[in-house]
Chains A and B, each alone.
Chain A
Amino acid sequence: MNRIATVMKIHAKDKLMWFIVPWFLVLLPAFLVNLLIGWIAQPENGLYTGGLASIFVCLLLIGISTLTKSFPFALGLSIRRMDFFLGTLIMVTAVCLGISVVLSALSFVEGDWGWGVGLHFFNLPYLSDGSFVEQWWTLFATAFHVTFLGFFIIAIFRRFGRTGLFFLFPVIFLAGSVLGFLCTYFGWWTDIFNWLSGHSAAQLASWLFVGAVIYVLLSFFMIRKATV
C-alpha cells in the first residue's frame, strides 16, 4: 500500500502536468477567447463552441506522459510494476473525478445564462442533456477513456518497443479501411447512425467506459512484462 501511495506521490509532484496545464494553460485560454468572441460578436442565437474538447486532448497527452517518464523512474527505484499500475490508476481516476465534477458545476453555472453573452462552452446541446448525474457521467467516462487511450498506446511501446507501434498503426488503419468498406458495401451506415442517435450522450459514455476498462486490462498485462 505504501508503495502505491509513493507512485501517486511521484505523479502528484507534477502539478504542472496534472493540474496547471489542463486548467490554466489549455481550458482557461480557450474559454477566454470564446468569451471575447461572444462579447464582440454578440451572436443572436448564442455562440456554441467545441473548446471543451481541448481539455480531453490534454488528458490524452497526460496518459501518454505518465508511462514515458514516471515508469522507468519508479522501476529504477525498486517499485513493482503492479504498484506503479495501481498508483497510476488511482491517480487518473481521482483527476478525472475532479475534472468531471468541476466541469459539471461550470456547466450548471453556465446554463442558459451563457456568461451574459450567450456563450455555450460547458453546457452543450446533447452532451449536457439529462440529469446532473448523467452529465457528470458523460464527462467522467470520456475523460477516463482518453487518458487510458494515451496510456494504452504507450504501454504497447513499453512492451513491444518501436516495432510494436510500427505494426499497430498500419493494422488499425487497414482494419478501419476494411470496416469502412464493409459498412458501405452492406449499407450499414444508416443503422450505425441510427444506433448512435438513438442513444443519449450518457449511454454512449458508458460504452466509452467499457472501452476504457479494456484499455486498462490490456495495459496491465503489457506493463507486467515491460522492461526499461
Chain B
Amino acid sequence: MMNIVEVQGLTKTYGGVHAVDDVSFTMESGKIYGLLGRNGAGKTTIMHMLTAQMFPTSGKVHVFGETPYENNRVLSQVCFIKESQKYPDHFRVSDVLELCPVIFPNWDQQFADQLVNDFHLPRKRAIKKLSRGMLSSVGVIIGLASRAPLTMFDEPYLGLDAVARALFYDRLIEDYAEHPRTIVLSTHLIDEVSRILEHVIVIDSGKLILNKDADAIRGQAYSAIGHAEKVESFISGQETIDRKPFGSLLAATVLGSLDPESRKQAELLGLELTPVSLQQLIVHLTKQKSDRRAVDFR
C-alpha cells in the first residue's frame, strides 16, 4: 500500500513551547486513522502543517509524495474540516456548498444534498446564524461529500447531538466502504470512534506516544473482575494500570496479552476477563506520561 502521508521529525515551536515535538509517522491509503490526544496536544497543529496552512519549524512533511505548500496537486486531493473553520460573514449554507464542486474534484452533489436533508440543515440560513451543532454539520457534509483521497476531520462534532453523531459515523462507514480513502479523525471522544478506527496515533504534549493498529492496541491490555483476593493473586507480578474496587470485588486492568495459560488460571479462579476499551488505554497512557513528568519536575 502506498504511503500518502509521510511526516519526519516534524516540530513546531512557539517561542519556547514545543507544540509539536519531533513527530514522525506515515499514513497509508484506504485506512481510517484516529489522531487522538488530549486538548492542546498538538493534533490540530499537525493537521494544519499537513495542509500547509502552518509552517513547520523543522522536519519534513510529504503528502501524496510531495510537499503540500502551494501545491494544487496535493491540496486538491485534501479536505481538512476543522472546528475553527471561518466563513465570510454574509455566506449562507448554500453559498458554501456551491463552491465545493469546483474545489474538490470528487465532490458528489447528490450525496451532499442527501446529507443536508439528513442533518436538517437550512440551506438558506446565514452561516453566522447557525447553532454550533449546525455549523459542525456543515463541516461534516463538506468532508463526506468531498470524497477527498485524504479527508481530515478535526473535532468534527462539536455541539452535535448523539443522533447526529451516530448519523455521521454511519454515513462515514457506508461511504467509506463504497469509496475507500484515507480518513483521519481527530478527537478526544475516543470511545465513540474506537469501533471505526483501524489505526491509532496518539499525541501527548506534542510528542507521538503511540502509533499502532487498533486491533493490536486492543490486545495490549485486559481487565480481570472478581473477588478482590483472587484478582490480587492473579495480577501479582503484572503491570496493573487501573484498579477499581467495589465492595468485595475488584476490577483490575492489566497490561499485556492473554496467553491460554492465564486464561485457564482465570477460569479456575472464577474471574471474568474483558477486553479493555481504547479510551481506557489511551487515558492510561497519557496520564501515566504526565504523572511521570510531574515527578520529573519535583
Cα–Cα distance between A81 and B99 once the two chains are bound (Å) = 17
Cα–Cα distance between A224 and B70 once the two chains are bound (Å) = 8
In this assembly, does B87 line the interface, its C-beta being within 8 Å of a C-beta of chain A? Answer: yes
In this assembly, does B89 line the interface, its C-beta being within 8 Å of a C-beta of chain A? Answer: yes
Q: Which B residues lie within 8 Å of A228 (CB)? A: 48, 53-54, 86
In this assembly, does A79 line the interface, its C-beta being within 8 Å of a C-beta of chain B? Answer: yes
Q: Which of A69, A76, A224, A227 contacts B89 (CB 8 A)?
A: A69
The answer on a CB contact under 8 Å between A78 and B102 is no
- CB-CB nearest in chain A for B74: A78
Q: Which B residues lie within 8 Å of A227 (CB)? A: 48, 53-55
The answer on a CB contact under 8 Å between B88 and A14 is yes
Q: Which of A5-13, A113-121, A124-132, A202-210 contacts B (4 or more CB under 8 A)?
A: A5-13
- CB-CB nearest in chain A for B78: A78
The answer on a CB contact under 8 Å between A80 and B54 is no
Known interface pairs A9-B99, A227-B53; A76-B82 also in contact (CB < 8 Å): yes
Q: Which B residues lie within 8 Å of A77 (CB)? A: 99-100, 103
Cα–Cα distance between A73 and B53 once the two chains are bound (Å) = 11
Cα–Cα distance between A172 and B44 once the two chains are bound (Å) = 37
The answer on a CB contact under 8 Å between A73 and B70 is no
Known interface pairs A224-B70, A228-B53; A79-B103 also in contact (CB < 8 Å): yes
Cα–Cα distance between A17 and B48 once the two chains are bound (Å) = 30
**A206 smallest CB distance to B (angstroms):** 33
Cα–Cα distance between A134 and B171 once the two chains are bound (Å) = 61
In this assembly, does A70 line the interface, its C-beta being within 8 Å of a C-beta of chain B? Answer: yes
Cα–Cα distance between A227 and B44 once the two chains are bound (Å) = 14
The answer on a CB contact under 8 Å between B99 and A10 is yes
Of the four ranges (under 10, 10 to 19, 20 to 34, 35 or more), the interface on chain A belongs to 20 to 34
Cα–Cα distance between A83 and B148 once the two chains are bound (Å) = 20
Cα–Cα distance between A16 and B126 once the two chains are bound (Å) = 14
Per-residue interface assignment for chain A, residues 145 to 161, with 1 indicating a CB less than 8 Å from any chain B CB and 0 otherwise:
00000000000000000
Q: Which B residues lie within 8 Å of A25 (CB)? A: none
Residue with the highest number of chain B CB atoms closer than 10 Å, among A10, A13, A77, A227: A77
- CB-CB nearest in chain B for A81: B70
Cα–Cα distance between A35 and B102 once the two chains are bound (Å) = 46
- CB-CB nearest in chain B for A2: B102
Q: Which of B72, B85, B90, B95 contacts A76 (CB 8 A)?
A: B85
Cα–Cα distance between A75 and B51 once the two chains are bound (Å) = 9
Q: Which A residues lie within 8 Å of B70 (CB)? A: 80-82, 224
In this assembly, does A111 line the interface, its C-beta being within 8 Å of a C-beta of chain B? Answer: no
Q: Which B residues lie within 8 Å of A9 (CB)? A: 98-99, 102
In this assembly, does A72 line the interface, its C-beta being within 8 Å of a C-beta of chain B? Answer: yes
Per-residue interface assignment for chain B, residues 89 to 106, with 1 indicating a CB less than 8 Å from any chain A CB and 0 otherwise:
111000100111011100
Cα–Cα distance between A110 and B79 once the two chains are bound (Å) = 53
User: Which A residues, 1 to 29, have Cβ-Cβ distances below 8 Å to chain B?
Assistant: 2-3, 5-6, 9-10, 13-14, 16-17
Residue with the highest number of chain A CB atoms closer than 10 Å, among B51, B70, B99: B99
Cα–Cα distance between A131 and B247 once the two chains are bound (Å) = 98
Q: Which A residues lie within 8 Å of B72 (CB)? A: 3, 80, 83
**A71 smallest CB distance to B (angstroms):** 9
Q: Which of B76, B89, B95 contacts A78 (CB 8 A)?
A: B76
In this assembly, does B197 line the interface, its C-beta being within 8 Å of a C-beta of chain A? Answer: no
User: Which B residues, 175 to 218, have Cβ-Cβ distances below 8 Å to chain A?
Assistant: none
Please give the residue numbers on chain B whose beta carbons come within 8 Å of chain A beta carbons, in ascending order: 48, 51, 53-55, 70-72, 75-76, 78-80, 82, 85-91, 95, 98-100, 102-104, 148
Please give the residue numbers on chain A whose beta carbons come within 8 Å of chain B beta carbons, in ascending order: 2-3, 5-6, 9-10, 13-14, 16-17, 69-70, 72-73, 75-83, 224-225, 227-228
9 other A-B residue contacts (CB within 8 Å) besides A6-B103, A73-B85, A227-B55: A2-B102, A5-B102, A13-B95, A73-B88, A78-B104, A224-B70, A227-B48, A227-B53, A228-B86
